[in-house]
Structure 1
Amino acid sequence: MAEIPEDLHESLKRYLETHPTWDQDRVFAAALSLFLLQNGSGKTAEASQTYRACARVYLESLFQSPPA
């Protein structure tokens, strides 16, 4: 559970209403992984591995197939 500002919640609701193949979990996974990609660095082996994991989650959330 996380609290988000009301304006952000309303924007999320409107987005989900117009994009039926997305759900709240998918949006949050994409947003969080993109944030980590943009703000992380791959300077150490561990950081590089984490960066690749975040990239994988981000791309999977963007390109996953809609439920059948």
Structure 2
Amino acid sequence: MAAERSHLQRCMEQPSCAEGLVEAEAGSISLEAEVPEVLFDGMREFLRSHPQWDQYRLISSALSSFLFQHGCSDKGVSQHYLNGLFLRP
């Protein structure tokens, strides 16, 4: 975990990486990540039992929840978090 955090900190300090993040704010970005198999299986089971959700909505909800609960004060993140709590499809 510490290695991941330091990699992210190094990335954020590099101008080219920071510029890429700013450009991505207007829309969506593609994300590739390795997750433990148990989390993947849980995600797959959740999506099977909740057909109104898709993988993109699930990941967006999870990320916004994590960021909001860990002190992110960005209004867009807060809005995604609150939408996930109160809006039902």
- Fold in common (TM above 0.5): yes
Query: Secondary structure in 2 aligned to 1:20?
Result: coil
Fraction of identical pairs, as percent: 40
| 1:11 counterpart = 2:42 | yes
Contact 1:30 1:57 in 2 (8 A): yes
Mapped to 2, the partners of 1:61 and 1:26 lie a distance apart of 9
Q: TM-score of the superposition, structure 2-length normalised?
A: 0.56
Equivalent residue number for residue 56 of structure 2: 25
Counterpart pick for 1:35 among 66, 69, 73: 66
Mapped to 1, the partners of 2:70 and 2:82 lie a distance apart of 17
Matches within 5 A, 1:41-60: 48=73, 50=74, 52-60=75-83
Mapped to 2, the partners of 1:10 and 1:61 lie a distance apart of 21
The answer for unaligned runs of 5 or more in structure 1 is 42-47
Q: From the CA coordinates, give the structure whose radius of gyration is larger.
A: 2
- RCO (CA 8 Å, sep 6+): is it higher in 1 or 2? 1
Give the aligned CA root-mean-square deviation in angstroms.
Answer: 1.7
Shift of 1:55: 1.3
> How many residues end up aligned between the 2 structures?
57
